Structure 1
Amino acid sequence: MHDIYLFSITIVAIAIVILGVSWWKWHAYLSLSVATLFLAIFAGMPFGKITTAFETGVGGVLGHLVGILALGTILGKMMSTSGAGMQIANFFVERFGAKRLPWAMFFSGLIIGIPVFFEVGLVILLPIVLSIQKTVKKNILLLGLPVLAGLSIAHGIIPPHPGAMTAIGIYNANVSEVLLYSLCFALPAGIVAGPLFAKFISKRITPKNEPDLMRPDVIKDNEKLPSAGVSFFIVFLPIILMLLTMIAALFKLPSGLTSIIDFIGSPLIALLISVFVAYILLGFRLGLNAEIIRGLTDDSMKPLASIILIIGAGGAFKQILIDTGVATAIANLSGQMNLSPIVMSFLVAGLIRVATGSATVALTTAAGIVAPIVEQMTGVNTALLVIATGAGSLMLSHVNDAGFWLVKEYMGLTVKETFKTWTVLETLLSFSVFFMVLIVDIFV
């Protein structure tokens, strides 16, 4: 009964967030904070621990994200203001044509999403999406959703992302097999949730708001626009730097050199280096002085205040969900069902994802729950088990997921529009991969 009670008050807490934002017109930060306090109090958490858990949750999520968001936004501002984003937009428009742009955006998201975290890919690619959208005058959903689909499916099931790698270790699966299967599943699932879903939903929803974080503000003097080559170099520089860590591991370089490469290839340092290269190639070389560049940097920071608050409150909500034992309660309820390992791993990961908002937490926690059960069985394909768990960790992103608020703010959506687009997209990815895993499991 206690597990059912925890599950019930979690649903009420999520309802408070949704009603607070959409009906009572509260700021999302306030809605999340009130829902977090409600859940903590009614779950029986001691008052002395509530504020500590709240602060831990805020620090946990922002400690990872705030630097990436700030640097990515600066990079995006330099690209949009210098015209680099427009140059890339013109390149895609000329090469692919307006009708095939959603497919180009999907493959860009998928390729870039393999070596980088979802948040990093988001801040790298969305300025380009906005620039292209301004050029072709199409619904931003038609271009933005395919990018999100590519980034998300790579983050959820493809090694070397941390969730997939952790699950591979827990299940003792073969990395090469998981990589091969995940690439085969990622493509069709991403196409369904990306270009095809974007075409469907863009005819039914047109966002009313203008994205504030990276609104294109292009220099008008065409003679000062950077070349397409320089523009692409700025986009791919942080990705190249991050890929160096994989190359260093592959060639087994000396430990001292590997440590330096790992440092340079970390998302924060790679973006920091890229920002200063952008200052030179997209700023000083185009005639901008230090005062103008500083002004652009200040302008890029201002819209971040709201989203940082929202993501921080979402992190607090997630921490309270974990500390009150909601994830454990869900695992207990799922463990009482007599299911196959693949179905169980998918459902447990999905329920923990809904409860905690973190795909990585859902994937790793579900793998830890299912692995002891699998050890007592024979004939279980552990590579497919990893992917089924990853698929479950993607479903039903909502208000306790930092990605939900990132997508909402970066694309200028309302909460309702984010549910109808991003939440549906994530769920399509999840179930598409799961059904393919079930089919393949029959024959292998």
Structure 2
Amino acid sequence: MEFYLLSMTLLAIVIVIIGVTVFKWHAFISLTVASLFLAITAGLSFDEIVKAYETGVGGVLGHLVGILALGTILGKMMADSGAGNQVANFFVEKFGPKRLPWAMFLAGFIIGIPVFFEVGILIVLPLVISIYKTTKQNILLIALPVIAGLSIVHGLVPPHPGALAAISIYEADLGMVLLYSLIIAVPAGILGGPVFAKWVHKRVIPQGEPNLIKVTQPESTPGTGISFFVILLPVLLMILSAVGPYLQLPNMAEELLAFIGSPLVALLAAVFVAYYFLGFRQGMNRDRLKKMTEECILPVGSIILIIGAGGGFKQVLIDSGVGDTIAQMSTNLSLSPIVLAFLVAGLIRVATGSATVALTTAAGIVSPIITHMSGVNLELLVIATGAGSLMLSHVNDAGFWMVKEYLGLTVKETFRTWTVLETILAFVAFGGVLVMDLFV
């Protein structure tokens, strides 16, 4: 029976992969079909199947929908107001031309905290191309560090959707994930960004020219200080909430900090601050802000569907008994859940090309395993799953083509730069998790 259940689980994962890559289904459709297939073949009754799927979707999305929407609004405000450019320009001016890779990495890392990877790319690449045309340096030396900063934050750090989904599925503590992920993300980003860029730019000379991105610049831009404040506000509130219990405050103050530092409230506060300082103060009226909000909420639907379907898949794994079977096997093999999460996320990332699908599916597979285990650090488990979801990006990943086209690279050059960069980020972050697991 155990062998049968494992075989059906593998077939379900194959269905996800074939659906996304061969039939070009949306990941939501692939995950839903795979969930139904696994539930039926595992012997769940029809009413149990529907209940398991709906419970899983609702459990994951219950508190994520608002967070994802607010994070997207904040990113849109950053991009359209010019606040992202202000932050990037600040680092370039302070570090100077000789330390450009470090300036670009920091810019990407900071800008990447509240915005999706794709939005971050659109914010910083006009600056990258401008610096490239001015300095005549290899564009890889300027672009790869900023891409590394954006990517490592996107893969590991909440409030990004993949990390939030894994936190929800594993029932990990968000504040601690935020603290640990920032500690692990910095060295991983440095090795995958400035260090790798300095090594590879001497060995890969792009033959093409970068594609100019036309971005409409606002008539007036916010100050550097307020730009930093808006970007970092939700992170600061969440960190404050995480350290609140250690400050020996009165119960009322501690509860207030926990409330203000919850992702929903922290992001809502940041959005209103952005509306005022990046919107009204820059001449935007209410109609413009409403239109911007509506524009950026629409694309969130796709991510919400994927994360919800991942939650449904997880619940089917639990209710069908597959989770217990995998748990028993990994115990017999003495395989750490952290290692298993990293490997499973990596395999699904390579197969489907989507970091979000890899993160949610891997978390769904590993989650039932840890229910009867003690001593598993759930926060590091989230980060290990995120690290695995970054590795070996190739032609089935939209990010691969985005980097290729914008930087004017050939497919071979993109493999030698972007694919290697992503894999460095994955393995260094995973190494960071293993080291931290020894101490916390």
TM-score norm. by structure 1 comes to 0.68
Matched with 1:309 is 305
Does the Cα contact within 8 Å between 2:86 and 2:224 map onto a contact in 1? Answer: yes
Does the Cα contact within 8 Å between 1:327 and 1:352 map onto a contact in 2? Answer: no
Matched with 2:132 is none
> Which blocks of at least 5 consecutive residues in structure 2 are unaligned?
130-138, 159-165, 349-359, 391-396, 405-413
SS in 2 for 1:53: helix
SS in 1 for 2:63: helix
User: 1:59–1:166: structure 2 CA closer, same or farther, 3 Å change rule?
Assistant: closer
Give the distance between the partners of 1:58 and 1:185, measured in 2 at CA: 30
Give the distance between the partners of 1:312 and 1:238, measured in 2 at CA: 24
Matched with 1:115 is none
Give the distance between the partners of 1:247 and 1:148, measured in 2 at CA: 26
Matched, 1:136 2:113: no
Give the distance between the partners of 1:239 and 1:181, measured in 2 at CA: 13
Shift in Å, 1:19: 1.5
2:361 to 357, 361, 375: 357
Does the Cα contact within 8 Å between 1:397 and 1:423 map onto a contact in 2? Answer: no
Shift in Å, 1:166: 8.6
Does the Cα contact within 8 Å between 1:330 and 1:352 map onto a contact in 2? Answer: no
Give the distance between the partners of 1:65 and 1:410, measured in 2 at CA: 27
Give the distance between the partners of 2:291 and 2:70, measured in 1 at CA: 15
Matched with 1:22 is 21
Shift in Å, 1:8: 2.0
User: 1:220–1:349: structure 2 CA closer, same or farther, 3 Å change rule?
Assistant: closer
1:255 to 251, 254, 260: 251
Matched with 1:147 is 150
Q: Which amino acid aligns with 1:357?
A: T
Shift in Å, 1:428: 1.6
Q: Deviations for 1:276-327, whole angstroms, at most 9, x for unmatched residues?
A: 1111111111111111111111111122222222222222122222322233
User: 1:350–1:300: structure 2 CA closer, same or farther, 3 Å change rule?
Assistant: closer
Does the Cα contact within 8 Å between 2:144 and 2:193 map onto a contact in 1? Answer: no
Give the distance between the partners of 1:102 and 1:362, measured in 2 at CA: 37
Where does 1:315-334 land on structure 2 (aligned, <5 Å)? 315-334=311-330
Which range moved further: 8-17 or 127-136?
127-136
Does the Cα contact within 8 Å between 1:245 and 1:262 map onto a contact in 2? Answer: yes
Matched with 1:236 is 232
Does the Cα contact within 8 Å between 2:12 and 2:38 map onto a contact in 1? Answer: yes
Does the Cα contact within 8 Å between 1:362 and 1:393 map onto a contact in 2? Answer: no
Give the distance between the partners of 1:36 and 1:367, measured in 2 at CA: 20
Where does 1:219-230 land on structure 2 (aligned, <5 Å)? 219-221=217-219, 224-230=220-226
Does the Cα contact within 8 Å between 1:109 and 1:146 map onto a contact in 2? Answer: yes
Give the distance between the partners of 1:31 and 1:360, measured in 2 at CA: 15
Does the Cα contact within 8 Å between 2:341 and 2:388 map onto a contact in 1? Answer: no
User: 1:106–1:44: structure 2 CA closer, same or farther, 3 Å change rule?
Assistant: farther
SS in 1 for 2:23: coil
Shift in Å, 1:52: 1.2
Q: Deviations for 1:216-272, whole angstroms, at most 9, x for unmatched residues?
A: 954442xx1111111111111112222332453232221122212211111110110
> Which blocks of at least 5 consecutive residues in structure 1 are unaligned?
113-119, 156-160, 169-175, 372-381, 399-406
Shift in Å, 1:397: 3.1
Does the Cα contact within 8 Å between 1:61 and 1:311 map onto a contact in 2? Answer: yes
1:335 to 312, 324, 331: 331
Q: Which amino acid aligns with 1:10?
A: T
User: 1:367–1:97: structure 2 CA closer, same or farther, 3 Å change rule?
Assistant: farther
User: 1:395–1:330: structure 2 CA closer, same or farther, 3 Å change rule?
Assistant: farther
TM-score norm. by structure 2 comes to 0.69
Where does 1:174-185 land on structure 2 (aligned, <5 Å)? none
Matched, 1:13 2:5: no
User: 1:88–1:252: structure 2 CA closer, same or farther, 3 Å change rule?
Assistant: same
User: 1:344–1:31: structure 2 CA closer, same or farther, 3 Å change rule?
Assistant: closer
User: 1:427–1:42: structure 2 CA closer, same or farther, 3 Å change rule?
Assistant: farther
Give the distance between the partners of 1:190 and 1:104, measured in 2 at CA: 13
Give the distance between the partners of 2:77 and 2:362, measured in 1 at CA: 31
User: 1:292–1:54: structure 2 CA closer, same or farther, 3 Å change rule?
Assistant: same
SS in 1 for 2:8: helix
Where does 1:279-318 land on structure 2 (aligned, <5 Å)? 279-318=275-314
SS in 2 for 1:357: helix
Which range moved further: 362-371 or 36-45?
362-371
Matched with 1:377 is none
Give the distance between the partners of 2:152 and 2:193, measured in 1 at CA: 5
Does the Cα contact within 8 Å between 2:109 and 2:150 map onto a contact in 1? Answer: yes
Does the Cα contact within 8 Å between 1:109 and 1:125 map onto a contact in 2? Answer: no
Matched with 1:50 is 49
Matched, 1:41 2:40: yes
Give the distance between the partners of 2:179 and 2:231, measured in 1 at CA: 27
Give the distance between the partners of 1:413 and 1:6, measured in 2 at CA: 40
Does the Cα contact within 8 Å between 1:108 and 1:150 map onto a contact in 2? Answer: no
Does the Cα contact within 8 Å between 1:348 and 1:366 map onto a contact in 2? Answer: no
Once superposed, what is the RMSD of the aligned Cα atoms?
4.8
Give the distance between the partners of 2:58 and 2:184, measured in 1 at CA: 35
User: 1:413–1:131: structure 2 CA closer, same or farther, 3 Å change rule?
Assistant: closer
Matched, 1:428 2:427: yes
Matched with 1:31 is 30
Identity among equivalent positions (%) equals 42
Give the distance between the partners of 2:184 and 2:290, measured in 1 at CA: 44
Matched with 1:116 is none
User: 1:397–1:432: structure 2 CA closer, same or farther, 3 Å change rule?
Assistant: same
Q: Which amino acid aligns with 2:224?
A: A
Q: Which amino acid aligns with 1:310?
A: I
Does the Cα contact within 8 Å between 1:32 and 1:313 map onto a contact in 2? Answer: yes
User: 1:287–1:258: structure 2 CA closer, same or farther, 3 Å change rule?
Assistant: same
User: 1:89–1:111: structure 2 CA closer, same or farther, 3 Å change rule?
Assistant: closer
